[in-house]
Structure 1
Amino acid sequence: MIHGVGIDLVEIKRIKEWYDKRPTMVNKILTDNELEIFNKINLDNRKVEFISGRFAVKEAFTKAMGTGIGKKYGFHSINCLPDENGKPEIACDGFHVHTSITHTEKYAEAIVIIEKDNNKQE
């Protein structure tokens, strides 16, 4: 059963300006596991795309959960890591989370569909 659907669109230019002014802002958005991936990226543009995508997917996740960032879920409580094929995944106890992130030159967009796990109690 679908619990919720969330979508978020981020202007990459806005994230780049934020990152250029305060590079440590990544520590507010990315978890330690995500930072490991981020730190292995060599191209600055790709780094900004990564931050933008993770920002968007976390916003989309909280929209799908119906909470918004900062209430029940914060940026550090949502860990979005690639599976063995590179597909972004978010693990959340009691739910099955479907995620997708896409980028263009100007935007990063994410969609999240959350299903209740019928085998677990909330």
Structure 2
Amino acid sequence: MIVGIGVDLVDIARFTRSVDRTPRLRERLFTATERPLPTRSLAARYAAKEALIKALGGSDGVHWSEIEVRNDPEGRPYFDLTGSTAEVIAARGIDMMHVSLSHDGGLATAYVIAEARGESA
């Protein structure tokens, strides 16, 4: 059962200016694995993290540094969640997260579906 849907859109040029103006922003928003990625990819990952928070209905117990967007061997994105963020999602009965990313034409977007397939659904 779908328990939440989130979508976010990021202007890549505006995001780039923010990251350039505030260098510590990369540390606050992204994991060590994500930080070296090109800015357009970071913008899409930022959109994914925002979309995740929207799918959850809020950010209580969720921390940016505990959300990593990774890619499986075929290139599909997925969330690698740790700490209290993983606990919050498990406590809500969410056992599957679907994420789609895209960047084109100066925009990055992400779409997230939170799903509960277990007995708590």
CA contact (8 A) 1:57 1:112 kept: yes
CA distance in 1, matches of 2:23, 2:102: 23
Give the equivalent residue in structure 2 for 1:110: 110
Which structure 2 residues correspond to residues 1-122 of structure 1 after superposition, within 5 A?
1-35=1-35, 39=36, 41=37, 47-68=38-59, 71-91=60-80, 92=86, 93=90, 94-118=94-118
Unaligned runs of 5+ in 1: 42-46
Give the equivalent residue in structure 2 for 1:44: none
CA RMSD in angstroms comes to 1.9
Q: Identity of counterpart residues, as a percentage? A: 30
Taking structure 2 as the reference length, what is the TM-score of the superposition? 0.80
CA distance in 1, matches of 2:106, 2:2: 31
Aligned-residue offset at 1:25:
1.6
CA contact (8 A) 2:5 2:112 kept: yes
CA contact (8 A) 1:53 1:103 kept: yes
Taking structure 1 as the reference length, what is the TM-score of the superposition? 0.80
CA distance in 1, matches of 2:50, 2:7: 8
Task: Kindly provide the amino acid, as one letter, of the partner of residue 11 in structure 1.
Answer: D
How many pairs were matched up?
110
Unaligned runs of 5+ in 2: 81-85
